[in-house]
Structure 1
Amino acid sequence: MIQNEIIETIETIETICSRRSVRKYTADSVSDEAVLTMLECARFAPSGLNNQPWRFIVVDDREIGRRLSELTHYSDIVASAPLLIAVFLDTDASYNRDKDLMAIGASIQNILLSAHSLGLGAVWLGEILKNKESVSKILNAPGSFELTAVVAVGHLDESDPGTAERKALDEIVFKNKY
């Protein structure tokens, strides 16, 4: 049993450290099973008081994706992604905005990690927030939903290696003992 736990821990760490933001995808659709797996992982993120303030609208319609792509500087990514997951804060479920936004960030990270584990590529898009009201209108989001991000997901186009460079620990950790 301990050996299996060690192997699972190593696999988890490898998944975290090898995940990259992927911005180019093939035209292949993402399976319903993969979508459900990513959403299951998202809902297991921690949240204050377990209020689970996140809400998701899944977009696999290319025409809606094209319309959304017109609302961001990153239009090529949005238009080419076979799957978009719009992530919202449900203000009716919110008890502390700051904590709830951090919880939503954790749910998005779970989407990114599960996508990577499934052999998919994904990227967290925030620039589209400048037009969040228009996004909400296109998606017919309820009035209590506030857009927090859009995640683009698809099968990796091998011409996109993703971004790997990270700052050294001594640049970001103070009182570093490593």
Structure 2
Amino acid sequence: MSNPVLAALQERRSIRKFTDRTITRDEITAMLEAGRWAPSGKNNQPFRFIVINTDDPRMAGLADCTIYSHIVNNAPLMIGVFLDKNSLYHELKDHQSAGACIQNIMLAAHALGLGSVWLGQMMNNAEQVLDVLSLDAANYEFITFIAIGEPAQEGSSSRKPLADIMLEPF
């Protein structure tokens, strides 16, 4: 595909195994900037981030918050996405903007030659995640963590044919 954005959308894969290469500050900043530019209702930008590196002692606590602890334990970097409850405009729209933010971060990781996976299952233990990070549930809603690193595996995926997901033909 000749368009780099459209190609990235189709080529990005969830990666669950990483090498031990450290992710640079510039790479982290690029991914956070991509997330920051996600659309949001009334441009309220309700998303907030936390960066956890492999040597952070909280990494072990986060691994305990998911059945996918092996992914957390293998990830050189985790980016947490939260909503600032004091900045919310519209609950559904703000959650949609968090999803766009996550997608932007993962596409930026892909553009940098990194792999990532959205650890949505951690939402089942949102209270525990907030506790590990010493964040106040009155102020922050946990959305997800994204595990990021240099891929140590090939990603694969398939999609249903477009006709199968259309409500009506166009």
Normalised by the size of structure 1, how large is the TM-score?
Answer: 0.90
User: How many Å apart are 1:15 and its aligned residue?
Assistant: 0.8
Partner of 2:34: 41
- Name the residue aligned to 1:132: 126
Structure with greater Cα Rg: 1
Give deviations 1:47-68, integer Å, cap 9, x for gaps: 0000001000110143321221
Shift in Å at residue 147 of structure 1?
0.3
CA distance in 1, matches of 2:106, 2:169: 28
Aligned position for 1:114: 108
Post-superposition shift, 1:140? Answer: 2.1
Letter in 1 for 2:119: L
What amino acid is the match of 2:25?
Answer: D
Distance 1:155 1:61 in 2: 13
Question: 1:174 deviation in Å?
Answer: 2.3
User: How far apart are the structure 2 equivalents of 1:12 and 1:130?
Assistant: 32
Runs of 4+ in 1 over 4 A off after TM superposition: none
> Secondary structure at the residue paired with 1:92?
helix
Cα distance in structure 1, aligned partners of 2:48 and 2:156: 28
Find the partner of 1:81 among 75, 80, 93.
Answer: 75
Matched, 1:16 2:47: no
Query: In structure 1, what is the Cα distance between the partners aligned to 2:54 and 2:114?
Result: 18
- In 1, Cα distance between equivalents of 2:51 and 2:134: 12
Q: How many equivalent pairs are there? A: 167
2:155: which partner in 1?
A: 162
Q: Say if 2:54 and 2:75, in contact at 8 Å, map to a contact too.
A: no
Q: What's the offset of the Cα at 1:13?
A: 0.7
Paired with 1:80 and 1:61, the residues of 2 have a C-alpha distance of 8
Match of 1:151 among 143, 146, 151: 146
Query: After the TM superposition, which residues 43-62 of structure 1 pair with which residues of structure 2 at under 5 Å, given as runs?
Result: 43-62=36-55
TM-score between the two structures when normalised by the length of structure 2: 0.94
1:100 matched residue in structure 2: 94
Cα drift, residue 23 of structure 1 = 0.4
- 8 Å CA contact 1:23, 1:77 repeated in 2: yes
Alignment root-mean-square deviation, CA: 1.2
1:11 & 1:80 partners in 2: Cα distance?
29
Q: Which runs of 5+ in 2 are unaligned?
A: none
Partner residue of 1:67 out of 33, 50, 61: 61
CA contact (8 A) 2:51 2:77 kept: yes
The letter for the 2-side match of 1:172 is I
1:64-103 superposed Cα distances (whole Å, 9 cap, x missing partner) = 2122111111110011101001110111000111000000
